[in-house]
Amino acid sequence: MTLYAAYAANLDPREMASRCPHSPLRGTGWLVGWRLTFGGEEFGWNGALATVVEDEKEQVFVSLYDVAPADEPLLDQWEGADIGLYRKIHVRVQTLDGGVTAITYVLDAYEGGLPSARYLGMLADAAEAAGAPDDYTEGLRQRPCRSTGFP
């Protein structure tokens, strides 16, 4: 099994269950020293796409999944790693039980641009479904965004 740290739509356990049906939720944690941001506006549908970048003053809420070998290619495809949109990296995740190493995906594009309002709302809903703290989900909902479009 590969441990995967989800920070965007895959935070939602229902979404991950449909995308990677053999990969159970292990728990949640924080990418300490990372910041959620957006980029690749030219690749998104009416807005920028979620990614994480290193930032020693920030942290990002994540869901941890044990990704089954049969599901890993599906996850790579869903995340666009198979076409070079995102690349897979190893990160350290802080949990209540200590630190663990997991993979996550980062956008292979420049940071910048605004996500669509719909996409940002979807990310906030996913964080809420994963049990993110209220201030984290509220912070997502209050981020600047484009007023229309998807994702």
| Alpha-carbon torsion, ordered 55, 78, 49, 123, to 10 deg | -80
* Active-site pick, 15, 72, 79, 128: 79
What one-character DSSP code corresponds to residue 11? Answer: G
Structure tokens at 69: 């070998």
Which run of H or E residues covers position 134? helix 134-141
Q: Is 119 assigned a ligand-binding role in the annotation? A: yes
Q: Is 111 a catalytic residue?
A: no
Annotated binding site: 119
Q: Just list the catalytic residues.
A: 79
Annotated binding site for substrate: 119
